[in-house]
Amino acid sequence: MVIINADDFGMSESCSRAIALAFEKGLVTDTTMMATGDFFDEAVGLAKEQGFFDRIGIHFNLTEGVPLTEDICRLSDFVLDGRFYKGYDWQKPLTEDEEQAVYRELCAQVIKLCGAGIGITHADSHHYLHNAPYLAPIFVRVCKEHGIEKLRLQRNLGTDEESEVNAFYREQGLCTTTYFGRLRDVEKMDIPDHTEILVHPDFDRDGRLIDRRGMKEGYPDGVPLVDLKERYSVNPGGYKDL
């Protein structure tokens, strides 16, 4: 079984509509939604209309957009001028007050998705922040308290050994795949069974459906979003099946 997860649902109109099209074409099996996204409400309606409302996980976010809670706005490592930014040092321990502020923000993001009627199937995070050593226990706590049993691994395709955080997730009893990587990781290799592949569907400046890998002259830039089932003869599954 291979899971193909589309990150950033709800972040913007462009990527959200691209994710909906990717579902329509059978190019992805799941998506994770950003509670702080600018297109959140519209994306909820889009998922209902397109029939993938039961394939949505949470894309925890501490690095982009407007926070949902007040306490975290006082943390300069996470919020600048009222918006999240990538300021946190991954190796920096948190104070007790910082831990509580992060915890409350993540809980608020879960509650927002649940309030929209979404039965959260799994979790990951924007910019992989749930893999930061001092943040990982907070993400796990939130998942457990809110009945989220499945959490994305740290990337281990193309690496020689497992990370400590992956071992931590498994010790905590969270259900994960055996492998995780990005589309570029499998461009020159067979996809192992029980793998999650991350993609970022979006439209480039010519309106083509791509796996976004950056921005170029103000437009999403990347490579065509390919049909992994056709190219690699994979057996697609989904987080619901894990």
Q: Pick from 171, 183, 174, 187: which is nearest to 146 by CA?
A: 174
| pLDDT at residue 63, as a whole number | 97
Cα(163)–Cα(131) distance, integer angstroms: 10
Domain that holds residue 109: 2-241
- Read off the CATH number of the domain in which 96 is found: 3.20.20.370
| pLDDT at residue 160, as a whole number | 65
**Block residue for tokens 């996470």:** 78
| pLDDT at residue 188, as a whole number | 80
Q: Pick from 36, 26, 33, 34: which is nearest to 4 by CA?
A: 26
| pLDDT at residue 158, as a whole number | 77
**Block residue for tokens 């697609």:** 236
Burial label for 91, CB within 10 Å (0-12, 13-18, 19+), is exposed
Tokens of 124: 């990951």
Distance of CA 87 to the CA centre of its chain: 19
Q: Pick from 77, 81, 124: which is nearest to 101 by CA?
A: 77
Structural contact between residues 102 and 138, judged by C-beta atoms closer than 8 angstroms: yes
| pLDDT at residue 73, as a whole number | 97
| Stated pTM of the model | 0.96
Cβ-proximal residues to 145 (8 Å cutoff; 6+ apart), any chain: 107
pLDDT in tens, 207-230: 999 999 999 999 999 999 989 988
Q: How many domains does the chain have?
A: 1
pLDDT < 50: residue spans in the chain:
none
Helical axes 13-24 vs 40-50, angle rounded to 10°: 10
| pLDDT at residue 199, as a whole number | 97
Cα(168)–Cα(163) distance, integer angstroms: 9
| pLDDT at residue 106, as a whole number | 98
